[in-house]
Structure 1
């Protein structure tokens, strides 16, 4: 599918997804279109947004301005908690598609599990299954699901999620969840792949601590003449994990995808694996309720 710089991952329904993409969480609307346009011109072919980010319109604008053919861009957006339930999901999908200015999506994700209202979660997933069957989206998946959440959803529905997008970085490697997902045929995708959650989330237990300054990462970066961020992103690729680093800075956008000309040794991968603290930086998925976040989605 892609002619960009990233390698691809084959999802469980045969769809090819770029392994590395641009995330736009916390990208201000006025910066998003430029970041997307820059990324696509630099060889990115995966753009990840969400209804709750309030920048879907600008993502669509950036895609159009880039000159890259729509068929070459893998576009992901996400359903927000306020729209969980079958009918609400179908309406929310239409709203996202309209804002993006597209006639189909490549990936539609449920943004969080909703343990407090699992019936609504199942209803949303059944709506996503309908969108998939109708050809309006090429693949469907979830975010922030534990192994137990995945098992519960799969037991009640027909389509196994193609992707589970979760917090994942060297300080929170989630090896057990990655293994469980792999057994189910679910591709793991990392948000906050270089550990930025510890820098911007005020409640992060390890606030201010970044893997980019850890000697296990900086030593490898010096060896290969790469940045620490490039080493961490390469570590994800070595684990067959898709990563969606966020940036609105042109030179960082270019650097982040320049990771396909080197590889890490088994010892280097193991050294970065060993940084795992088992401590989550962001919210605990099991505690999520509809009102867990104060987010208003623009009309």
Structure 2
């Protein structure tokens, strides 16, 4: 490859890097694996003759999708051996992500967990079609299926996700208000305050990955969730502090013990009550919460 061609390849890749990372992350739920996929995409991209590429963005998305699909299948084995519940790797996101309702929902912990219930191909098709509005023909080329087959997969995946996604998207303001009430109740150990903000059927999921203490299964119900919070997170000899932030496009908390990062908490809100609490403590998943990660749909 000539110097001019190499410069052009680099310029094109950098121009689309945030988009490619977003595609890979939404397919994998892991920033570390998404970065590996981008490295693999780059190694393949520099071997391509640019004169043979009509749509550089579509071509790069196709490479990224194929590499992410390969990694999804290997990740399945890793998750089967994972200690306790598996949560997506949380990202500290830039303000523009929170302002983009569609993007914020697509990377929310709640929806990312729903995507975990899809097969690898269903997840790829759903993400490309519903989130990034990629054409059926382009998706078919990326996943090695015919366009009619992709349409069927997309329909099936959409039905599956719609049946499990939040009933109605709530505003950032509502989520922030619920989080503030939750944070205040934790810090003051206010039992009634927690009962007021948590839905009766709230589900709390902790992810320690076997490296930090967390429940080995989801905690269901407000009473059990409160016992978990006040008996674990809220009752410790160390000083617990919580800082409001934006996690995966939505209000969240960064929790520290004696100033050291302990975990990241995201919530799901329905009808002004918290119906989901997602607490990531696995230190291997906390590298992206000290600096913002840019994401984009374009």
TM-score, structure 2 length as denominator?
0.26
Larger RCO, structure (CA 8 Å, separation 6 or more): 2
- Where is the helix percentage greater, Structure 1 or Structure 2? 2
Which has more radius of gyration? 2
TM-score, structure 1 length as denominator?
0.26
